[in-house]
Amino acid sequence: MTEPTAVTSPGAIPPAASEPASSASKSGFRAMWENWTSRVFTMREDRFFLFLAVLIGILSGLAVVCFRIAIEWTQIELLGSSLSPTFPRVVLAPTLAGIAVALLVIYAFPRARGSGVNQTKSAVYVSNGYIPFNTVVGKFITCALAIGSGQSLGPEDPSLQMGAGIASLIGRRLRLSQEKVRLIAPVGAAAGLAAAFNAPISAVLFVLEEVIGTWSAGVLGAIVLAAISSVVTMRAFLGPESMFRVPPFRVAKPADLLAYVALGIVGGLASLVFLKWLAYARPRIQSLPRWTQHFQPAVAGLLIGIIGIRLPQVMGAGYPIIDQAMHGQFTWKLLLVLAALKILATGFSFLSGTPGGMFAPSLFIGAMLGGAVGAIEQHFFPALPGTVGTFALVGMGTFFAGFLRVPITSVFMVIEVSGNYTAILPVMISSLIAYGISRSYIKVPLFDLLARQDGLVLPSVEEQREQMILTVEDAMRVDAAMVLERAEKAADAIKKLEGKEGLLSFLRVRPGEWNFIEHSELQRLAADTSQSRTVEEASSKGPLPFVFRDMSLEEALHWAGDWPALPVLSRADLSKLEGVVTLDDILKAFRKVPVA
Amino acid sequence: MSSPANTIVVGKKSPRIYSREAVLFGCILLLVLFVIFTAAVSRMYHKKIHVLADNWFDQGEASFRAGDIKSALTDYRNAMVYSPDNAKFQFHLAQALAAAGRGDEGRSYLLNLLSESPGSGDVNLALARIAAHKGLTSDALRYYHGAIYGEWDNDPIGRRWQVRRELAEYLLDRGLQQQAVPEIIALADSTRANDTEQLRVVENLLLRAKLWTRALEVFRTILSANLNDGDALLGAATSAFNLGQYSAALDYFERLPEKDRNASGVAEMYKTAQQINEMNAFLPGLSREAKARRAASALSLSATRLQQCATQMGQSLTAMPPQTQLQKAFAESKDFTADESWQNIAKHPETVDEVMGHAFEMENAAAVACGEPEGADQALWLLGRSREGSAQ
């Protein structure tokens, strides 16, 4: 596409109706402002979109900074500054905060319920990217209260939704096209998640895998930009440090990786247990009378508080506890107990509809399981490389991959949250095993499952991955065409066609330029008494759009309806015909594939 | 594509229509205000958490000093919640864990710190102590050396000296004498001659490592500053005694206060040194007669010892030809037994060396066959060894 410079170029945003600039009569600032806005608005929409992505990234980053501070502040005020809150607080804080959260969610911010991932995804696919700003405010307040009071939830998914909400508001206020408003919400989502996790790559991958549900190149640049700007903003206020600090280690022998295979199996089974429990209990909790919603978060808070009397580690997001586990501060027995109780506590919080995310708890559970497996393995095999911390780190990625079914995100997440590249091989192995186990027994990923329970059918990358992508090769016929040269006699061509029913004739004009000739036309020329008429004189259809055998069949379908047949050419030599494909061939190929 | 300006965005209610410039201006204004607000909030927040972190850390320090390690651990952990990357907090937590006998847990924090500052003397030392406690000698050595050659904030020379001393003591405690020797020598070399306290530590290590020559040098250095330093006199006496410099040893012993001289272990050495001194026919200034008397006495003493040993071993010293060391020693000294009187030796003062040589030989042969001698025999045997050492 040529670079449009004019305002009227296709795809460009028309300038807003403003007075023509007359700099001389205006103040310097106004002239500068108008000059700048004029430049911004006369950008091509995709460039303007990138500019907005940066703006959204910064705003989301700021929102997340405030959100994280709000959570910590609430926690200090409600539970005290110690890791082990005193007895009355540990039970009262989550219970009373649960009542407040329930009232806020029911009467003021009904869309703030849940984690935020599915809500954002449904905003993209159901409400054209519309997320009311009220939801952002609600999410901020209710999550800060819930997580700060000790509910076993995390701040990442809500940050994702807050980012999406901010982006949606900006998109609407700037009256972007409907398509862009739909796309801008994931941009904000990536920014929010990146800032919450201090992990831009994982945020981008997660949004592409889970929220958009497709690897769309059109929005990738904006998502990356937004994620980077939000992380830079967040780091400016909260520091650049990685979330966890684990000493580097080295896998000395390939056999050492077997230790992580065991971790993958344990992580996969644990994620299955958690998923099964949520899948089983959620519809039952949801079917309870509506008035019980007033008390569900409080009951969850009470139960968590009771657990917290003995084991306060399970309360809240639990990042300091993960850090302690990574430094081998717990015995393997305690690690196992903490993992089990965290599954229980997170289930209580999530099922009660308390706003908050599942990322932090799943990292917590994974770290505890990893640490336990590592400690047990190192007890029996003291020569194993790495520390309990290494296993805890890998365990985080493992459980994350099994539970949320985002294996690529989980690998990058582990690297980003620890700043430790040495764990990549173990985390890849164990994550894939956990992912495989989880997928084998529960076909639908967590967020899709929750959406379906809520009556929404949202696109899933996992399902898309399983869909067979048809290419031209699946439909083309190899021996169904005859190539004619321009100087070739029509009579000779007819002779060649004798006895070959259904053969299609293509005239090679020059490399990359092919025409289609009907048999009747060839016969008309061949009937000429002079017998010297060439095929070039025939009336042909073309130049034909050509396709390659590796192109998707959907692409070929765009052209096939307008032409009798499409030549399939070699990518290395556009004068070489490899086959032919018609609309019928394409439809037949599609019919062969079973519908998902 | 429809004109974006005319697009009705799907939503619950249509937003008020503002120009794009106004919205963009609003966004930027909002951004600026939001930045200011966030900066203010973040500043307050950081201030609060720093106060909390410092309070918890101070509590931890107080508990640690009071010996309440359990509380100290809780307090340090609380401090780390608010400042997880604080190296000081991590270091103190690790030390508290080590003090609680949970060195493995502390090790993890220390390894973290080490990966961030591999040259940290403090971290290397803490890791060395944990490794030493666990009996991982190679790790301990590596970390001790890391600490010795590492960076120290305050008094680097003094700290390095202390670490090397600790390493030397650790190696000696584990019986790794060979590995300890270069450390002790390096320690002695890096000790200032006027620092008596450090010299004392070095002298002690040198004695433990049996580096008598270096030890004697150090003691002499100390004594040059204070002639009556009891510890130095004792050390010098011990070193000189072990070096076979019995006259010097006796001199040092005699300068010791009587109480110290009669202490267990010292009294024996002193007595032996005295005996050696009394038996030594080679002392300068002795008269011919005195030399002869001492030589004759030594020969007689050693012959008796040889006889006793032969009896103990069931051997006959007169067997011909001589087979065993005892028999050979006896045969060689036979010529002198004909007239072993001091008067005869005094007549032939040139034979003193030979007579003493035979006495030493017999004592040696008896020591090899029957074990180290005691009393006067021991003194004679030691004198012989010191003469042999000097000759070599």
Q: Which of A58, A177, A328 sits opposite B1 (nearest CB)?
A: A177
The CA distance from A92 to A87, in Å, is 9
Indicate whether A153 and A291 sit together in one domain.
no
Structure tokens at A423: 């764990």
- pLDDT of A540 higher than 80: yes
> What's the pLDDT score for residue B44?
95
* Structural domains in chain A (count): 3
Residue A412 belongs to domain with CATH number = 1.10.3080.10
Mean pLDDT of the residues in chain A: 86
Buried-state track A404-420, b at ≥16 Cβ within 10 A, e below 16: bbbbbbbbbbbbbbbeb
HSE, CB side, 13 Å, CA atoms: give it for residue B367: 19
* Structural domains in chain B (count): 3
The CA distance from B312 to B306, in Å, is 10
Which residue in chain A has the smallest CA separation from B104? Answer: A328
Q: What's the predicted TM-score (pTM) here?
A: 0.74
The answer for residues whose C-beta is within 8 angstroms of residue A314's C-beta and 6 or more apart is: A152, A304, A307, A308, A338, A341, A342, A345
Give how far Cα B280 sits from Cα of B150, B240, B294, B356, Å: 53, 16, 7, 9
Indicate whether B103 and B142 sit together in one domain.
yes
Indicate whether B128 and B202 sit together in one domain.
yes
The verdict on residue A141 lying in a domain is: yes
Indicate whether A276 and A214 sit together in one domain.
no
Indicate whether B295 and B218 sit together in one domain.
no
Indicate whether A297 and A420 sit together in one domain.
yes
Per DSSP, A110 falls in state G
Among B63, B108, B117, the strongest candidate for a mutation testing the A interface, having the largest count of A CBs within 10 A, is: B108
Indicate whether B297 and B334 sit together in one domain.
yes
Indicate whether B294 and B204 sit together in one domain.
no
Indicate whether B187 and B265 sit together in one domain.
no
- pLDDT of B338 higher than 60: no
Interchain CB distance below 8 Å, B31 and A58: yes
Interchain CB distance below 8 Å, A128 and B9: yes
> What's the pLDDT score for residue B27?
86
Indicate whether B363 and B346 sit together in one domain.
yes
Which residue in chain B has the smallest CA separation from A318? Answer: B81
- pLDDT of A43 higher than 80: no
Q: How confident is the model over A430-454, as a mean pLDDT?
A: 91
Amino acid making up residue B288: R
The verdict on residue A95 lying in a domain is: yes
Instruction: State the DSSP string of B33-100.
Output: HHHHHHHHHHHHHHHHHHHHHHHHHHHHHHHHHTT-HHHHHHHHHHHHHH-TT-HHHHHHHHHHHHHT
Per-residue H/E/C for A360-408 = HHHHHHHHHHHHHHHHHHHHHCCCCCCCHHHHHHHHHHHHHHHHHCCHH
Q: How confident is the model over A132-141, as a mean pLDDT?
A: 94
Indicate whether B204 and B337 sit together in one domain.
no
Indicate whether A501 and A520 sit together in one domain.
yes
- Chain B CB contacts of A62 below 8 Å: 31, 34-35, 38
> What's the pLDDT score for residue A40?
66
The verdict on residue A28 lying in a domain is: no
The verdict on residue A4 lying in a domain is: no
- Chain A CB contacts of B81 below 8 Å: 81, 83, 320
- pLDDT of A553 higher than 60: yes
Q: How confident is the model over A235-250, as a mean pLDDT?
A: 81
Indicate whether A362 and A499 sit together in one domain.
no
Indicate whether B199 and B98 sit together in one domain.
yes
The verdict on residue B310 lying in a domain is: yes
List helix spans (H) across A419-539: 424-441, 446-453, 461-466, 490-497, 519-526
Digit-coded pLDDT (tens) for B168-203:
999 999 989 888 988 988 888 888 877 878 888 888
What's the gap in Å between the CA of B175 and the closest CA on chain A?
Answer: 26
Q: How confident is the model over B352-373, as a mean pLDDT?
A: 83
Indicate whether A201 and A336 sit together in one domain.
no
Indicate whether A414 and A288 sit together in one domain.
yes
What's the domain range around B333? Answer: 288-391
What's the gap in Å between the CA of A396 and the closest CA on chain B?
Answer: 18
The verdict on residue B36 lying in a domain is: no
Indicate whether A375 and A514 sit together in one domain.
no
Neighbours of A293 (CB within 10 A): 18
> What's the pLDDT score for residue B3?
40
Mean pLDDT of the residues in chain B: 83
- 3-state SS class at A534: strand
Interchain CB distance below 8 Å, A327 and B10: no
Indicate whether A455 and A476 sit together in one domain.
no
The verdict on residue A155 lying in a domain is: yes
The verdict on residue A233 lying in a domain is: yes
Q: Which of A465, A494, A510 is the last residue of a domain?
A: A465
Give how far Cα B217 sits from Cα of A276, B203, B260, B375, Å: 79, 9, 21, 29
The verdict on residue B6 lying in a domain is: no
Indicate whether B182 and B263 sit together in one domain.
no
Digit-coded pLDDT (tens) for B111-161:
888 888 889 999 999 999 999 988 889 999 999 999 999 999 888 999 999
Neighbours of A253 (CB within 10 A): 9
Indicate whether B199 and B76 sit together in one domain.
yes
> What's the pLDDT score for residue A217?
63
Interchain CB distance below 8 Å, B4 and A55: no
What's the domain range around A208? Answer: 45-238
Q: Which of A430, A465, A500 is the last residue of a domain?
A: A465
Residue B161 belongs to domain with CATH number = 1.25.40.10
- Chain A CB contacts of B78 below 8 Å: 81-83
- Chain B CB contacts of A388 below 8 Å: 108
- 3-state SS class at A489: strand
The verdict on residue A61 lying in a domain is: yes
> What's the pLDDT score for residue A465?
64
